[in-house]
Each structure stands twice: as structure tokens, then as C-alpha cells.
Amino acid sequence: MQEIGLIGLSVMGVNLALNMADHGVKVSIFNRTVSVIDEVMEKYDHPNFRATYSIEELVKSLSRPRKIMMMVKAGQPVDMLIEQLLPYLEAGDILIDGGNSFFKDTIRREKYLSEKNIFYLGVGVSGGEEGARRGPAIMPGGNRTAYQAVEQIFENISAKAYDEPCCRYIGEDGSGHYVKMVHNGIEYADMQLISEIYMILKEIGGLSNDELQQVFAGWNQNELESYLIEITADIFKVKDGDGYLVDKILDKASQKGTGKWTNLEAIDLGVDISVITSAVNARYMSNLKSERVKVSEMLDAPAKTLTITKEELVELARHSLYVAKIVCYAQGFKLLDKAQEVYNWTLNFDEIARIFRGGCIIRAKFLNDIAAALTMEKGVQNLIMAHFFRNIINQHLPKLREIMTLAVQSGIAVPAMSAALAYIDTYRTADSGANLIQAQRDYFGAHTFERTDQEGSFHYDWTGINE
């Protein structure tokens, strides 16, 4: 019988433990607040749970090489737990971090533990509470041989998409947590795009919550089919008193930080992930509620005018959302591409797209198309260049332009949608305005420039031109 130790019985930890136990794995459980262990034992009464009441007891309950999964809060708690475990671990044991840890911490921890002959796996787990219980998407990183010892367990408990487990070995050290971080960045962007489309439909189109519910439910039957579209349709169903719950929820979006990490990382690596950046900024702006209320009274808003039918607006929204989504995924994969070069990983992008097809928050039907495009056109520099996606963009780009025009004329804030459009326009501009920037840099700082007609580095005496 397979066995594993699991430390940290928060919602995610308990659900993962139950999922493993259901799959015939004997799970030794432990939690820092020990009363929780008895509560869990009593509540779930699972024959494959083995309660342990100290770190030492947990470690000793397992046969070597031990497999121990930590499901604790990212950051210092992970380092503290590692130190508590270390005196009891032996060479060859495998420690697994299943939390949303920052990938650089995972790289550091893996190195630290490998010096002590302990294997360390950083494993991204997505899908929230329900995913953990019924099948999450799993992104394991770390030593490949050590991973093989837990591969069967992880594949068994993971979500299945088209009969394939949404779990594949990602790569060395922090790569699993890196991919999870980028997943979260895409998640932020996807949510922001949907919320901008919601505002366009509501404010310009005047759609009611019932109509919005129908629109999103309908979109969930076509190319936009995805978990986030599905739950959006559900949200518009929920009534509260004489109105709808969604209208009574304060418009301040929180965040735990993974979107911010993705952005800091992208800036560090010099990759434009503007749609994800706009999504994080939009959450910051959303928190300035009282200032927004004040400014809404200070600055005039244009009239909201709809020059097309509601049905036409809904169709424009559908196609525009699809194009913007493609851009946000393209940016995420572009960041992964740069990361593999910088951190010396070999990432398999079509496999990553396959993992994302089930269990995780960004699961979507079109990840099948992404996986297919990345398989057929291995090495393509950007998803936007893949035949399938460039055809879609060419087909629907005029609609994105049209809806952006409507939004701008009506004064609806669409930072992520417009970032997607700007990215496409920037990317398809063969001759940009950067020549002028180079001239300016050379003018004020003699920073030199390259020429289109000659090889080499040049400087011009700009200040002499007025003499």
C-alpha cells in the first residue's frame, strides 16, 4: 500500500488528504494545533487516515524513503516546518511543498535540502477546495527521480481531462511553483477581462442580471467554455432579498500576492505581460473605493450610447473576449519561455497546456487548442504566431477594436482589454517609434544608436544642429 505523510490540515490539506486516502493511500496526518487532528479523524473517520500527534511520530509512522507533503502557509511557516522535520528525516526522504510558495524560496530550499541528501519537491496545486477533494491540477517540480516515487499518487488524485491526468512533471527545483505562479497571473487576467466585459454589457448594453446570466451560460457552450465563465453565469443567478447578491458585493477586489509575484518576475525578466499587469493594477484601483466615489463627482463622464443592437454588442463582446484571452495566455507562455532560459529549465509547453485543461481555476476548452498548437508548432515564439490563433485574431480583431471604441466613447474603464489590443498592435508593428526614443537617448546622453542602413554603433552631435 502506498503511504504519505501530510502536514497542515487547513481546507486544502484536509481535502488533499481525503483525496489521497480515497485513492488507497495510507495518509499519516499531522497539524500544529493538535486538536484539529482529532476533529478531522472524527469528522471524516477515514480508514486510510492515521493520526499522528507530533512531527517525530509522523515521520516514524512512515517507511523509508518517506514521502511527506507540507500544506502550510507560504513563506516562513514552510522554513520553520522544514527545520522541525530535519532532525527526523534521513537520506533519500522526500519532502513536498504543496502550497503557493514563491519559486525562489523553493529553489533555495531544494538546494539546502539536497546538501543534506533530502529530496525536495515544489508542487503547484490548483483548483481550490473542490479541486483538492475531487481532482486538482498538479504541477510538480524538483528532482525527477524523487518525483517518480510520488508520481502514481499525484496522477491518481489529479483531475482528468480527456482521460489524461492533469499532472505532469514540470522540471527542476522551482519550476512547478513557477508554473503555478503564472497560472495565477493568467487567472487574475482572465477574471479582470470577464469583469470588463460585464461592465460593458451592463453599462453600455443595459443588460440585466438575468440577461447576463443567459449570455455567460450561452458562452459556456462555445469557444469560451471555461470554469470562470461557468461560475460567472452561476453568480448572476443568486438573489438576495429583493435584488441580486452580486449587486450588493462591495467592488473592492482582494489578492494574496501571486499576481504581484508574476508581474515583478516579468519585469525582472523583461517580458511584457501587460494584460496580467493591468489585472493586478485594477485590483489595486478597486480598493480606492472612497477616492473613486469622490472623483466620480469631480470628473464628467461621457454619455453611454449604444449605436448597435444589444445582440450585436453581445457578439462583439464574445469575440473580443476570446481574442483578449488568447493574448493573456500568450503572455503567460512567453514568460514561461523566458523563465526556462533564465533558470535553466526545459519546459514542455504543450504538456503545461494539457495540465491546465482540468482541475485548475483557468481550465478552459480552448486549452485544447493551445495544447494542439504548441504540439504542432513546437518552438513557435509566441502563441499569437501559431496558425490556429493568428487566424482567429485576424478574424476577430476588428471586433475587439469596435468594442474598445464603444468602451472608450462611453467612458468604461477597460484596462486589460485595451492592454490586449495594444499588445497585438505593438507586436504586429514592424517599424515602431523606438527610433525616436533612440535618437532622444543619444541627444541627451550620447547613448548611441544602431542604423538600419549601416552596421555598428553611432552617435550624432545633436546639440550642434541649431548652430
Asked if 184 is part of the footprint of ligand 6PG (rule: CB under 6 A), the reply reads yes
Grid cell 513563506 is found at 75
At which residue does the C-alpha cell 508554473 appear?
A: 179
361 binds ligand 6PG (CB under 6 A): yes
Between 127 and 176, CB nearer to ligand 6PG: 127
Q: Clarify whether 180 is annotated catalytic.
A: yes
100 binds ligand 6PG (CB under 6 A): yes
- For ligand 6PG, the closer of residues 184 and 274 by Cβ is 184
Contact residue for ligand 6PG among 65, 75, 77, 128 (CB under 6 A)? 128
HSE-CB at 145 with a 13 A cutoff on CA atoms is 5
C-beta of 265: minimal distance to ligand 6PG in Å? 15
Nearer of residues 187 and 265 to ligand 6PG, judged by Cβ: 187
Taking CB under 6 A as the rule, does residue 232 contact ligand 6PG?
Answer: no
263 binds ligand 6PG (CB under 6 A): no
First to last CA, the chain: 87
Backbone torsion region of residue 417, taken as left when φ is above 0, otherwise alpha when ψ lies between -120 and 50, otherwise beta? alpha
Instruction: Give least dist CB 335 to ligand 6PG, A.
Output: 16
Phi, psi for residue 126 in degrees, rounded to 5: -125, 150
Cell of 298: 469631480
**CA proximity to 265, closest of 198, 175, 199:** 175
Selected binder of ligand 6PG within 48, 255, 286, 438 (CB under 6 A): 255
Provide the sign of the torsion angle of the four alpha carbons 402, 403, 408, 409, taken in this order.
Answer: positive
| DSSP string covering 218-262 | HHTTTTT-BHHHHHHHHHTT-EETTEEHHHHS-S-----SHHHHH
Q: What angle do CA 99, 177, 173 make, to 5 degrees?
A: 115
Q: Is 297 a catalytic residue?
A: no
Active-site annotation holder among 180, 325, 334, 399: 180
Torsion angle of C-alpha atoms 423, 406, 285, 296, degrees rounded to 10: 150
Query: Whole-number minimum distance, CB 256 to ligand 6PG, in Å?
Result: 4
HEC-encoded secondary structure of 311-350: HHHHHHHHHHHHHHHHHHHHHHHHHHHHHHHHHCCCCCHH
Member of 187, 190, 196, 265 binding ligand 6PG (CB under 6 A): 187
Task: State which residue, 175 or 258, has the beta carbon closest to ligand 6PG.
Answer: 258
Listed ranges 124-132, 193-201, 333-341, 364-372: which one lies at the site for ligand 6PG (CB under 6 A): 124-132
Q: What angle do CA 217, 231, 397 make, to 5 degrees?
A: 60
Q: Single out the residue of 313, 360, 373, 424 in contact with ligand 6PG (rule: CB under 6 A).
A: 360
Applying CB under 6 A, the site for ligand 6PG has a residue count of 13
CA 370-355-112 angle, 5° bins: 125
Binding to ligand 6PG by CB under 6 A, coded x per residue (else -) over 391-430, reads ----------------------------------------
Residue in 110, 187, 196, 265 annotated catalytic: 187
Q: Could you give the residue numbers annotated as active site?
A: 180, 187
Interface ranges with ligand 6PG (CB under 6 A): 100, 126-128, 184, 187, 254-256, 258-259, 360-361
